[in-house]
Every structure is written in structure tokens, then in C-alpha cells.
Chains A and B, each alone.
Chain A
Amino acid sequence: MKSLKASGHALASSAAQLDLIEGDNFGKLGLPSFHEQLGHIGLFPLKPTQIDIFQVNIGKMCNQVCQHCHVDAGPDRKEIMTRETMQQCLDALAQTTIGTVDLTGGAPEMNPDFRWFVTELTKLGRHVIVRCNLTIIVANPKYHDLPEFFRDNNIEVVSSLPFYNADKTDRQRGKGVFADSIRAMKMLNDVGYGVEGTGLLLNLVYNPNGAFLPGSQEGLKRQFKRVLKDEFDLTFNDLYAITNIPVSRFLDYLLKSGNYDGYMEKLVNAFNPGAAVGVMCRNTISIGWDGQLYDCDFNQMLDLTVASPITHIRDFNADTLNQRAIIVNEHCYACTAGAGSSCGGNTV
């Protein structure tokens, strides 16, 4: 399977996606816009609180081509962060007290400067999260020692595992992904990740494999823990339930499957003002592979650069960025549905 970009799909264009998200397709549903909803609860324009999380997308290259991927990542994507831009990230971080650095992709480990970057981040004394898709660990011998590398740098590992069986996981993430994920989880458990008392965090990410919302995060966590322990003798710490965002490949899926209208209606009807208060873009800054700044990884994929005089990491200034208004659109409903959704799971 190819990325939308490599296959020349119209939705590879962020402008085409935005046309769908905010245009007639949404308008014909007669639902309130996200701006309006925020206005009703006094949150528009949406302003940042402060930057607590520095999320860096170090490239769109990935060993998987997942059906729901908002990045449109894949082996055919060559956009990856250079060491020079990584150094600009380090310089920006050094002038702040931002506590958490969240590395994502693609498969961030495929960036040839990944290990150098992680090591330098660790020297700055920040808490580093790596969003690891699990299968990269077993994809090639050169990645087999990633669990030890993560452990030695005290990295928090956050890994996608959308279901506790092969059928659903493979339908979403590709044939054989579940079996490889289980092998990789075993390797992580073997060095202490997800094992009680080690302090090495392995958190899983669940996302629905279709046009429905995630249920109770606690209920899903209980079920995953039980099945993974009973059937595979695997353990993990926490589980984050994340709502699929109607962007890129998931947007394509919604349209192709005839689920777009129903899904958007579900999101809008599940709007939770409490979740809107706690949306992740209020305390996160997202950095693209080329150093551009965004309110979140989803806005990044829609090329919605921050509405600030500072738009690139080389010019980073937290005070100036904290004055900006966060760019919102109809896709933002996914973060405010139900118990809320963020890169760290529920927000309420």
C-alpha cells in the first residue's frame, strides 16, 4: 500500500482536505461550527495556557502504512528532520523550562539522527517520550537494540496497539503487524518496560478501527491488560484512548465508506465543554520535520502554521507564541468528543 501522496490522491493536498473539512461537506449537515461551539462557552479565540510539551515530528517516513494515519506516513515518504533543525530544537528547548519532549513521526526511529537527538535531549534533562509503532523494533536488525537504547536513556515509550487481536489490528495497520507488535512488546518487557517496579513506562495507544468513538479508557485498559497478560504474558502501564481525527487517510476512509456524515455528527453531538478547556494544543507546541511551528500534529498535517509572528523553530520564543490564537477548524471536534482526546488519551 502506498501513501496518498505517492499514489497521487487528491487528499494528499492539505488544501483539498480543508475544503472537505470546512466546506459544503460539513455545511450541509447543518451542524454548528467548532468556532461557534467554542464561542458558546467563552473559549473563542482559543488561547494557549503555557507550553508544557514540545512535540517534534521528526519525519513522515514509516515502515507501516496504516489506514487511519493522519500523517499519511509510509516507506515512500522521504520528508525527515535534518540534524541542523534538531539542533535548532535543542537550542530552543535550552532557553525554556519545558519539561516534556514528545517525539513522533512516521516512525521517528527511522530518522538517521534519531539516537543522536534523543541523547542530546536527555542531556538537557527533559522527560522524553518516543511514539514507537512497536514493529520498527523487529523490522530490521539495526533496530533490535532499541529497547536497550530506550532504557539507557530513560525514555517513556508510547506505542500504538489498536486492538488485542490480530484481525482488527492487521486490518487497520497492515498484515502481520499484530504478530510483530507482540514480539516487540515482549522485547520491551524483557528489558523492564511496562514491568511494575522498574520505572520504565510503556503506555499503549488505542484508537477505534472504524467510524466510531472510543469507549471508556479505563474499561479498554482493563480489557487490554487482561487479554495481553492471559494470552501473551505481556504487561504495560497505561492505555490512552485516542479518537480518530477526520484528516488525511482517515478522512479518505470516512468518505469512501460513506461514514463521513455520521462520524462528524457523532463528534459534534459528543462535544464536551470540559474537554474543550483541556485540549492539548493549549499546552503543546508542535514542530514539523522542516522546523515549522504548529498548534498540534493535526494542524501540522493540514499545513496550518501557527498564527504568530514566529513560525519557525530557529526563531522560537515561548512568550510570543503564548500570545497567539490557536487555529481551530471542524477536525478539532475529535479532540473535544466525550472524555476528550489528546496524545495522552482522555482529557477529562
Chain B
Amino acid sequence: MQTYYDPADLKKFGKIGEFQKEFADKFFAYYGAVFAEGALTAREKSLIALAVSHTVQCPYCIDAYTSDTLEKGCSEQEMMEAVHVAAAIRGGATLVHGVQMMNKAKELSM
């Protein structure tokens, strides 16, 4: 069955330099530096990445950071809590616009 997303494509990510090497090299060097141990641990960064993957709804990223968080010894509870953080922010971002709606409604109403 043909689909827009093919899990096998994730393994080809490293080959994006085929069409533009300079930017790809810079991107992957940057990417590697971002995920290295720093003020945040690599484990914490991986959980953030897992949450963001859900926010941007990237199936490649979800696969990649599910494996990565497991490899880094995260529990399934931690992983799901990270997804809830993403969901809460997305939900909150919708709801907070309700204030704008309320402002406008009050402005237009008697």
C-alpha cells in the first residue's frame, strides 16, 4: 500500500545532503550539538524532543524519539507525561485564545 509517510524513509534522512550538501552538513552538526549533554542532560533533551515530535505531529520524529527515550532509560510513564505536556500546551494555546474571543464578543455585545 502506498502512503505519504514511509517508515523506511527515516533511515534516509541522512541523505538529504544529496541535493544540498553544505546546508545538510551544517544542520546535522548543529543537530548533534543541540542533543549533546549540556545544561540539560541528553535524557531530558530526548523527552523534550518526544513531546515536540507530537506537537509537530511528525511520525518520523515520534518513532525516532520513542526509541531514543527508551534507549536513554526513560520509563513509559515519563514518556507519556511528556506527551501530555505537549497536549496541555496545545490545548492551552487553543483555550487561551478564548480570551480574545471573549474580548471581541464583549466589545460587540450590549
Q: Chain A residues in contact with chain B, CB under 8 A?
A: 163-165, 167-168, 206, 208, 210, 212-216, 219-220, 222-224
Contact = CB atoms under 8 A, between A and B. Distances in A.
B75 A206 contact: no
- Chain B at the A interface: SS class: helix
Contacts of A216: 42, 72
A208 B71 contact: yes
Main secondary structure of the interface of A (DSSP, over half): loop
Contacts of B71: 208, 212-215
Given A219-B42, A219-B43, A223-B43, A165 B70 contact: no
B41 interface: yes
Contacts of A214: 71
B103 interface: no
Contacts of B67: 212
A206 B73 contact: yes
A167 B72 contact: no
A163 B75 contact: yes
A296 to B, nearest CB: 24
B76 interface: yes
Interface string B48-79: 00000000000000000001101111011100
Contacts of A223: 43, 73
Contacts of B70: 208, 210, 212
A222 B72 CA distance: 11
Nearest to B73: A220
15 contacts: A163-B73, A163-B75, A164-B73, A167-B75, A167-B76, A212-B67, A212-B70, A214-B71, A215-B43, A215-B73, A219-B37, A219-B41, A219-B42, A219-B72, A223-B43
Given A163-B75, A219-B43, 10 more contacts: A167-B76, A168-B76, A208-B70, A215-B43, A215-B68, A215-B72, A216-B42, A219-B37, A219-B72, A222-B41
A340 to B, nearest CB: 15
Contacts of A212: 67, 70-71
B39 to A, nearest CB: 15
Contacts of A219: 37, 41-43, 72-73
Contacts of A168: 75-76
A224 B41 CA distance: 14
Contacts of A210: 70
A310 to B, nearest CB: 40
A220 B41 CA distance: 11
Contacts of B41: 219, 222
A313 B68 CA distance: 43
B91 to A, nearest CB: 27
A222 B42 CA distance: 12
A206 B74 CA distance: 13
Contacts of A222: 41
A142 to B, nearest CB: 35
Nearest to A220: B73
Contacts of A215: 42-43, 68, 71-73
